[in-house]
Chains A and B, each alone.
Chain A
């Protein structure tokens, strides 16, 4: 059952592609048929006995039975537990409305900051950037963000963003940047020190020593999306040599 999916690992799939699992007409008495289980990740959907592809991208597999389609989409769909960069759009009563790039604005309670109490309100202005985590992300409900973890610590979350630049990249690049031992980040580290905040919603925030360097970092990250490792290395080398 898994074999037809396994054959296609690394192949480019398009929405509408169907994986049909061939059912044997006769049940052999000697072999004990075992039900195989697979887990469909993003981009794969079960439709009756088939598995249908609903995103375009590359099929990925994780041991033992996890399959998903690695797409390059730019539209973000909130997922519970993901950390995103949001922009505060309005302050209304005791919640902030935050734009996360999804179809709907998320709400962020003012109590969901580290050390915030009813008296001690956090200093958050409209237009500020927040790094927050999704507490509730349902398709039928307004998503809710928090800036603390379960123990009440900020743990890196909260308001940030003075002096840096926010820009948007595809969700695929963000996932690559967040992968452990990522080469892009390693190459960038060698170039010059910079601060980077990566939101799962495709937003990146970067800050380096000067405006010029920040712009270079931003443009390098944006352009490394469609480059091979070799191309990227040569580009980074050129930047390091200072002849761009």
Chain B
């Protein structure tokens, strides 16, 4: 679907407003819109709201063979998606000029600035390295996609944790998060892109242009910088002539904005880490504001009361007393081992015997006998959990209780 055209009246009004140093949403020239960073429940999932612009980034990893030219470096892969959900002008599966431009700028911003230690992603040199894939999805387009994308990508990368690997000889084991704690990527610095739009051949300058401002602008300057005031990439598009002083001024503004945004990202990361540690609810669903349409709301709250008393009495009548749950008489005591909980033997003991178990059910079952040693536990238990059967196929398993 084609995009809504920009009418002459909007164009004239915008240019006139910019001349008067006014912006559509009441911002000042160098103001950013509200930035909100939220993280999903998974590691490496990040949503960034920049005003009405909304971007989601998801980081994932995979073990691959490295490039031959760089055998001991991990691979960074960036993928951007402009879905029609963001704007009706975007089409799925077609690489538009804007998409290529954004993708290239993100790569220059994050890969070429070497902000991520790719050598730490090497598992076996020349054979196995981690490929870190960053998928950025545009959810809503209201201008300045680049800044939102770069913030989302770097925040997601800092939030991401890859699984730990162990190497024994030739074998590479990938541990699940339950076995070993996943490892965060090592990030040296956070490059963040700041966009400047120029109007009237560079006479007027605006930071963080919204969608309609982007449409009437003459040129765009994107500066990627980290908080150490190091420029990671700089790109001018639109074909306007910029003076040296203008570029210097932009880089000064960028350094201020970048330090603000970096603080915001670190704070968001800290909050998320704290929430996860304390076991509070985290994830983007918790941090979504509830946008309710209250204008048409009526204040009376109606509660459905039809045959409520009947329903309640029905429940009381028909309900039975809760059946007593028969507890197993065998109580696992400290220092005592027990096999399974009754349903399935989770200990992986003698698989071939299982078939025999099913066949003979008349008391002749071979039972696993456990003798648990008690160390340092002086308490005498009157009923030890030792079941000794008189079967021939008796087996004795001795479990050493862990010292911890």
Contact = CB atoms under 8 A, between A and B. Distances in A.
B296 A165 contact: no
Contact of B13 (A70, A214, A224): A214
A215 B9 contact: no
B285 interface: no
Contacts of A166: 7, 9-10
Interface in A194-234: 205, 211-212, 214-215, 218-219, 224-229, 231
A163 B295 contact: no
Interface in A43-73: 58, 70, 72
Q: What band does the interface of chain A fall in when counting residues whose beta carbon is under 8 Å from B? A: 35 or more
A117 interface: no
B4 A101 contact: yes
Given A212-B22, A215-B26, A227-B294, A127 B13 contact: no
A27 interface: no
Interface in A111-128: 125, 127-128
B9 A129 contact: yes
Given A219-B25, A226-B294, A226-B295, A211 B7 contact: no
B13 A128 contact: no
A45 B199 CA distance: 50
Nearest to B13: A165
Given A219-B25, A219-B26, A165 B4 contact: no
A72 B293 contact: yes
Contacts of B313: none
B38 to A, nearest CB: 21
Contacts of B13: 163-165, 211, 214
Contacts of B12: 162-163
A99 interface: yes
Contacts of A70: 296
B6 interface: yes
A87 interface: yes
Contacts of B293: 72, 225-226
Contact of B294 (A89, A172, A176, A228): A228
A211 B292 contact: no
B5 interface: yes
B24 A215 contact: yes
Contacts of B294: 226-228, 231
A103 interface: yes
B5 A89 contact: yes
A128 B8 contact: yes
Nearest to B299: A228
Interface in B251-302: 291-298
A152 interface: no
Interface in A95-142: 99, 101, 103, 125, 127-129
A233 B340 CA distance: 67
A165 B10 contact: yes
Contacts of B36: none
B20 A225 contact: no
A86 to B, nearest CB: 9
Nearest to B17: A211
Contacts of B1: 103
A10 interface: yes
Contacts of B17: 211, 215
A62 B183 CA distance: 63
- Most A CB within 10 A of own CB, among B5, B295, B297: B295
A161 interface: yes
Nearest to A210: B20
Contacts of A161: 7-9
Contacts of A211: 13, 16-17, 20, 22
B5 A205 contact: no
A3 to B, nearest CB: 13
B229 interface: no
B111 interface: no
B11 interface: yes
Contacts of A231: 294
Contacts of B26: 215, 219
Contact of B9 (A58, A72, A162, A227): A162
B199 to A, nearest CB: 15
A12 to B, nearest CB: 9
Nearest to A205: B9
A58 B20 CA distance: 42
Given A215-B24, A225-B295, A226-B291, 9 more contacts: A10-B298, A87-B5, A127-B11, A161-B8, A163-B12, A165-B10, A211-B16, A219-B26, A226-B295
Interface of B: 1, 4-13, 16-17, 20, 22, 24-26, 291-298
27 contacts: A58-B296, A87-B7, A89-B5, A99-B5, A101-B4, A103-B1, A125-B8, A127-B6, A129-B8, A161-B7, A163-B9, A164-B13, A166-B7, A166-B9, A172-B296, A211-B13, A211-B22, A212-B20, A215-B17, A215-B26, A219-B25, A219-B26, A225-B295, A226-B293, A226-B294, A226-B295, A227-B295
Interface of A: 10, 58, 70, 72, 87, 89, 99, 101, 103, 125, 127-129, 161-166, 172, 176, 205, 211-212, 214-215, 218-219, 224-229, 231
The 6 closest A-B pairs by CB, nearest first: A127-B8, A161-B9, A87-B7, A165-B13, A211-B17, A166-B10
